Amino acid sequence: MRSSLVHCELSETTPFLGNIQASRDWGFSGEYVEAMWLMLQQEKPDDYVVATEESHTVEEFLEAYGEVDNLKGDASKAKEVLKWKLKVGFEQLVKMMVDEDLEMARREKVLVDAGYLDAQQHS
C-alpha cells in the first residue's frame, strides 16, 4: 500500500486500495524485534502477543498521511512479563513509513534519470 501511495504522489495517479474500512493493528517492526529479543532473554519459553493494542482503518492510515474486518492485539503479557512498551504511535509510524518510501522513490528516480535503471521496469 505504501509504495502505491508513493507512486501515486509522484505520478499524480489514483491508487486502488480495496476496502479502506478494514481495520488493523499497525505497529513498528523495530519495536517488535525488540520484544522478540526480550522474549529470548526469558528463562522459560512462552508465547506472547506483541501489539499496539490499537486498531486503525486503512482510511485512518491515509488520513494520517495528508480482509479481516478488525485486528487488534493484546500486548498485556509482553508488557507485564517482558516490561516491553510501545514507543512509536500510529501517526508517527505512518509518517516513518511514507517518508521512507518517498526517499526510496526519489533515489530510484535519480537512478532512472541517470540511465542506471529502466524506467519501464520501475513505474
Dump pLDDT digits (tens) for 33-86: 999 999 999 999 999 999 999 999 988 888 776 644 566 889 999 999 999 999
Enumerate residues 6+ apart whose C-beta is below 8 A from 80. Answer: none
The residue that leads in pLDDT, 41 or 8, is 41
| Mean pLDDT value across residues 87-94 | 94
Domains of the chain: 2-122 (3.90.25)
Whole-model pTM above 0.85? Answer: no
